[in-house]
């Protein structure tokens, strides 16, 4: 398990950067699947799917348990929520910056209107 929050975030986003792993996550969040059942859904070797599952497991996005000869994988909803929280935090920072830019533009526009009004008055006085 990855301890440091930044390392964990890196591992989660790395794991989710791959299309196959995102699809595996959709499947294991919907319900428990054996790794062999997951492998049947993809045009790749069983070993390749095992590696994808291992990346997701190391990132903490899914857990595996042994049931007889099978490895059963289940998605970790709490881990997915933590990814969503990280993205929401980044979105709030971004929205704050956009808000400050909007305020700056509005302030600049107000000053330009005021300046233009002054020029009109001066022009009329001439």
Mean pLDDT over each residue of the chain, to the nearest integer: 88
Lowest-confidence pick of 38-47, 74-83, 86-95: 86-95
How far from 117 is each of 40, 109, 113, CA to CA, in Å?
Answer: 72, 12, 6
pTM to 2 decimal places: 0.72
What are 37-73's pLDDT values in tens digits? 999 999 999 999 999 999 999 999 999 999 999 999 9
Q: What is the pLDDT, as a whole number, of residue 46? A: 97
d(CA 87, CA 53): 23
Contact 55, 21 (CB under 8 A): yes
Mean pLDDT of 29-35: 97
Q: What is the pLDDT, as a whole number, of residue 28? A: 98
């Amino acid at each position: 398990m990855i301890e440091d929050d930044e390392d964990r975030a890196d591992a989660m986003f790395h794991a989710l950067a791959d299309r196959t792993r995102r699809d595996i996550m959709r499947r294991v969040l919907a319900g428990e699947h054996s790794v062999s059942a997951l492998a049947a859904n993809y045009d790749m070797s069983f070993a390749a799917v095992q590696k994808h599952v291992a990346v997701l497991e190391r990132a903490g996005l899914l857990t595996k348990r042994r049931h007889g000869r099978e490895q059963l994988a289940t998605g970790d909803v709490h881990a997915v929520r933590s990814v969503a929280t990280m993205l929401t935090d980044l979105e709030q920072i971004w929205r704050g910056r956009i808000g400050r830019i909007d305020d700056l533009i509005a302030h600049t526009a107000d000053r330009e209107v005021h300046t233009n009004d002054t020029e009109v008055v001066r022009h009329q006085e001439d």
